[in-house]
Structures are given as structure tokens and as C-alpha cells.
Amino acid sequence: MKGIREFRDEVWRHWRESGRHDLPWRKTKNPYRILVSEVMLQQTQVPRVIGKYKEFLKAFPTVQKLAAAKLPDVLKIWSGLGYNRRGKYLHDSAKIIVREYGGRIPKAAAALRSLPGIRDYTASAVRVFAFNEPDILIETNIRTAYIYQFFNVGSYDLPILDVDIHIVAAEAAEGSPPAGGPREWHWALMDYGAHLKRSGVRNNSRSAHYTKQSKFEGSLRQVRGEILRALARGEKHNDLRCRYGEKFELALVGLAHDGLIVKEKGKWRIA
């Protein structure tokens, strides 16, 4: 494909000169630590994750420690990252890993995908970054890089499918990874895409899979987080009910459905 070699060269050049080599989850090959980072990075920007990642691993340094922890303690550390169900999913996954896999993070894609909250991308990311297994990762920064290089044509009006990007990605990855393997190639791709975004490239809306994240302020996500923080501190949340009205009730229903809270003797508490 035209431009593949030039694309590879540019990605590697940027990686050598400006790659984010100091990200803490890039300094480990520990599968548990990689799993924690990948769950945290779902829908959350890197700067917000760095501090929480270190705090979480200090509290729960192994999958066994996480599995043995109580959910309120896990959510207390998770608070501030948003999407608290991810913290519960990670906690539930740790229990399964200890119970069914002897405390070892599984390498097989199907086994990873069977864990709570682990979908195709996260399963593939764990395989690539923890085990250096060959795979194709398509996330927002990588998508930006491929669209910019191979689909940046004014007449291309139809939405771009990830399956089309996958075809290009497979050819670009063919023979591309150096000694670092698929792990390093995907780090380089992510950093190149992030660089393009900082340079003003905004092309992800051309993807058929693009979804604009809803505003956080006043959202159901915000209410859910405030309820969990209030319960964790043992505070009354009637003021939240008055402030948010219907959203408060919807948030309670959602939190209960996700298994994050339970009602006991007429009062809500973290599960």
C-alpha cells in the first residue's frame, strides 16, 4: 500500500524523539499492573490516570490483595476516575482470576473477554502490552493516526469503518515492530496519534464508531459519583436528592443495577 513505509518511518521517528517513555504502566510487564492500567484508561485521559494508578497499586499491589479487598475500599481509591462500575468490574475480575486462574492473568483472548467489563479492545491491549502478543489495536489516538495518513482525502465522504482501518493497520504492522515487538509498535502509534491531536488534527468524527462524550457537569455520571462518595463517607444524601430530583432516583437505580449499592433496613450502602 502506498505510503506504508513512510508512515512507519514517521511513527518510529516520533517515538524515538518524543515518545511518552515515562508512563508508569510502560515500565512494567506485570500482567496485573497492565490490566489495572487498561481498565483505568477506558474513557479517561492519561493525566488523570497516572496518580490514581500509583495510588491503586500501593493499596492493592497484587491481584490477590485486590480480590480480598472490600468493595467500599476499592471504590474509595477509585473515586475521581469516574465510571465507578469499572472499579467494581476490576474487583470482580480479580476474584475470578484468583478463583479460576490461580491468580495468574490469562493470556487467551477469550478468557480475558469473559472477565467483567473486559471487552475486545481491553482484552487485546492486555495481550499486547502484558504478553507482547501480536494483535491489532484501534483506539482514539491510533485511529487518528491512520485516518490522517490513509483516509485524509476530501472526496472521502462516507464514514470510515474500523474494519477498513484494521486492513491498513495489519499491513503497517507487517514486519514493523523492532526488538520491542507489538508492544512497542502500539505505544509508538498511540503517541504519534496523540501528537497529531496536539497539533490540531481532529478527524475521529469521520469514524463510523465515533461517539462524542456527553458533558459531565450535571450528568447522571456526576450524580452517581456524588452518591457513592457520600455513602463512602457515611454522610446523608438527602441534599443530593433535593438538588438533582429525578436524576438522583435514576442514579440510585443504576448504581443498584450495577451492584455498586444495596438497600439494607431502608438505607442505602455500598455493596
Q: Predicted confidence band at 178 (pLDDT cuts at 50, 70, 90)?
A: low
Q: Are residues 110 and 148 in the same domain?
A: no
Q: Are residues 49 and 115 in the same domain?
A: yes
Q: Predicted confidence band at 215 (pLDDT cuts at 50, 70, 90)?
A: low
Looking at residue 19, its pLDDT comes to: 96
Looking at residue 176, its pLDDT comes to: 65
What residues are labeled active site? 38
> How many separate domains does the chain show?
3
Q: Are residues 117 and 198 in the same domain?
A: no
Looking at residue 142, its pLDDT comes to: 94
Q: Are residues 13 and 45 in the same domain?
A: no
Q: Are residues 64 and 127 in the same domain?
A: yes
Section 215-226 average pLDDT: 75
- State yes or no: pLDDT of 220 exceeds 80: no
Q: Are residues 140 and 226 in the same domain?
A: no
Cell of 29: 510487564
Supply the range of the domain harboring residue 201: 4-20+135-206
CB count in 10 Å sphere of residue 62: 15
Cell of 168: 491498513
Q: Are residues 196 and 262 in the same domain?
A: no
Pick from 226, 261, 228: nearest CA to 244: 226
Pick from 81, 106, 200: nearest CA to 144: 200
Q: What is the pLDDT of residues 110-160, one digit of tens each?
A: 999 999 999 999 999 999 999 999 999 999 999 999 988 888 765 456 667
Pick from 60, 63, 53: nearest CA to 26: 53
Q: Are residues 193 and 174 in the same domain?
A: yes
Q: Are residues 201 and 227 in the same domain?
A: no
Q: Are residues 49 and 126 in the same domain?
A: yes
Q: Are residues 82 and 16 in the same domain?
A: no
Query: Looking at the domain assignment, is residue 212 inside a domain?
Result: no
Q: In 71-173, which residue ranges form alpha helices assigned H by DSSP?
A: 71-78, 85-101, 109-113, 120-131, 140-150, 162-173
Query: Looking at the domain assignment, is residue 143 inside a domain?
Result: yes
Q: What is the pLDDT of residues 232-249, one digit of tens each?
A: 777 776 777 777 778 888
